[in-house]
Structure 1
Amino acid sequence: MGSAVVLEEKWPVLGRHERAAEWLRVWTDLGRAPRTIDAYARGLAEYLLVCEREGIDPVTANRLHVAAFVKELTTRPSRRGGNVVALDSGAGLANATLQQRLVPVRLFYDYLIEEGLRESNPVGRGRYTPGRKFGGHQHGLVPRMVKLPWIPSEQQWLDLLEVVRDEPIRNRVMLALAYDAALRREELCSLRTDDLDPAHRILRVRAETTKTRRERVVPYSAPTGVLLSGYLAHRATISRARGPLFLSESRRNHGEPLSLWTWVMPPVVV
């Protein structure tokens, strides 16, 4: 069963709108990452549900109708409680989440324009327009907040290391590699035994696991190399087969590849 069909079963509203289903299949056939497709499907499904509730044809919807969807998003309570408000949006959803929900809607209308079904995109993009009255910058529907990355203090980092020190060797290796090589969760959990070059302390991050679809080779430190050597010896007691580097040690999934959904911080044994 194709992933697009599975997503239509997960969000039936996608199957009720022919153009939406077509658009989703295009992205799936182009080989986009499953998590990306899932996020696109969710965002578009939420928009289509609002259209159905308001009696709007999404193919002919205008900016006013999309603004109604934005209003619905900004009044939606947080999953962590109705009193939780994100500081960067003043709403229950964080600014980044609001932006994420609008991306598939904008791309859907780009598709309709390419198919000759529309002349303009009601979502639009923030862009600079020379000569525009009252300034040349046109804002998107939701102002984008750009925040500095969070960097732990020395004490916070020491506290983290104190917690991790008592973790099983697999979890310690995962944290060390993630830190040394700046690996995303999917990149970390997708590492294979043949991605490693212990002699030169480097590892290969395969293109299909990266967000940019670009392969890269990155080094790791000598202390991480020592941890990795110990983990490989430990891994051999679970499985001697080449393949996924990190294996589950739970009774239910013993020896199975570790999925990205089971790797969280603080790390836990799964």
Structure 2
Amino acid sequence: MGVLEGKAVVITGAGRGLGRAYAMHAAGHGAAVVVNDVDGELAEKVAAGIVASGGLALSNGDSVTGYAGASAIVEACVERFGALDGLVNNAGLNYQVPPWADDPDRVRALVEVNVLGSLYCGMAAIPVMRRQGHGAIVNIVSGSMLGKSNGAAYSASKGAVAAATYSWATDLSAEGIRVNAVSPLAWTRMVEADAVERERLSRDHTPERVAPLVTYLLSDLSSGITGQVVRSTGDALHLVRQPAVKEPVLRRETWEVEDIARAFETEFADVLEPPPAQRWRLPG
């Protein structure tokens, strides 16, 4: 029996790449999967592949960029499979451009998918999970959330999803709902379009190597694990440190400009760090 036997899960953006790998792996471990992708033909192809392999799947082409679409995805899962045990917020857009050349319409489109899409799907799924008394949400973030060169919109969007993960985990732990995030690195269309990642990542780092982590977080094996961001590159697995206050904490009755300047010249001088993206790199 698979670790997801008897569970029904929704995976957005599952028509190709990482989302497809998550859907196929979850189905292979017993889950009934709603394969969502705005490209309905791709969703149908993945769902058909799952069914042909003896699994249960339903394709869905609704867009996550509106609450009505997000609700329709959740409703399709409940209507077809009778429950919603897991949600993987994977649908996303990415592009690289210097900040001085970014386009407002392109920024808005990315935020609508990456941020609002995750929030809307969560907002639609959480009431169902609360009524059931259980559920697991896996948000897909990125190492870019620490500040990727030529990727401000994408970095900001994934930072927002990480923050939502922490917030939902805090609110929902008492409801029996676990919320975690996965920060994957695998060879996908996004990587192929990124000159920096393309140079440092091997094609052997396939999406299928990340999928077991998502299946684990959807399963009861991860009972009690919530509010975590987990990084997977296929061969490396680690937790991402959560935001926290950094020592030392200096106190004065009031802080004038000169006092702040002195703090940065003295106590803070030894604990200043470069931008996170410059130091958060694993070998390979």
What is the TM-score of this pair, normalised by structure 2? 0.23
What is the TM-score of this pair, normalised by structure 1? 0.24
Q: Which has the greater radius of gyration?
A: 1
Q: From the two aligned structures, give the one with the greater strand fraction.
A: 2
Higher RCO, 1 vs 2 (CA within 8 Å, ≥6 residues apart)? 2
